[in-house]
Amino acid sequence: MDGARQPTVWNVPPPDVEPRDARLELARRYLHIFGPATPASFAQWAGIRPRTAGHAAFDALGASPTPVRTPVGDASILTSDEPTFRAPGGHAAAARLLPSGDAYFLLQGADRELLVPDSDHRSKLWTPRV
């Protein structure tokens, strides 16, 4: 009889990386995937305090983030991603299907407005139920 089984849990030693370096790499990856973004949106996504750790991570990236203005406010992108943002856009797909668990489902607040401008569509994508 197949059904729910006990999960297999693997324990591995912690990585040999300083917490500060790990936070910076996390901020770089966040900006690459979710940019344009703000320190506050990064902090909320990462589950860290925005005024301290979120801003500190963005500040510690130095020249890597480039300030940008979006329809929902000021934010940053990775400087290395700027050519992609400046490239001419192609034709928009008639439909964009996001699989369950897609990273864009994790967006919050104004970031959702940037991805899906129509509030009726946002309420269908991000329902109040789990």
Per-residue pLDDT reduced to its tens digit, 59-73: 888 878 899 998 888
DSSP reduced 3-state for 113? helix
The predicted structure's pLDDT at residue 66 = 92
Task: Evaluate the omega torsion of the peptide bond into residue 36 and state whether it is cis, within 30 degrees of 0.
Answer: yes
Q: For the purposes of burial, counting CB atoms within 10 Å of the CB of 65, is it exposed (0-12), middle (13-18) or buried (19 or more)? A: buried
Domain residue ranges of the chain, discontinuous segments joined by + = 19-86+96-125
DSSP assignments along 21-33, one per residue: HHHHHHHHHHHHH
Check: CB of residue 42 under 8 Å from CB of residue 116.
no
Per-residue pLDDT reduced to its tens digit, 50-104: 677 888 888 888 878 899 998 888 999 999 999 998 998 888 778 777 676 676 6
CATH of span 19-86+96-125: 1.10.10
State the Rg of the chain over Cα.
18
pTM of the model: 0.70
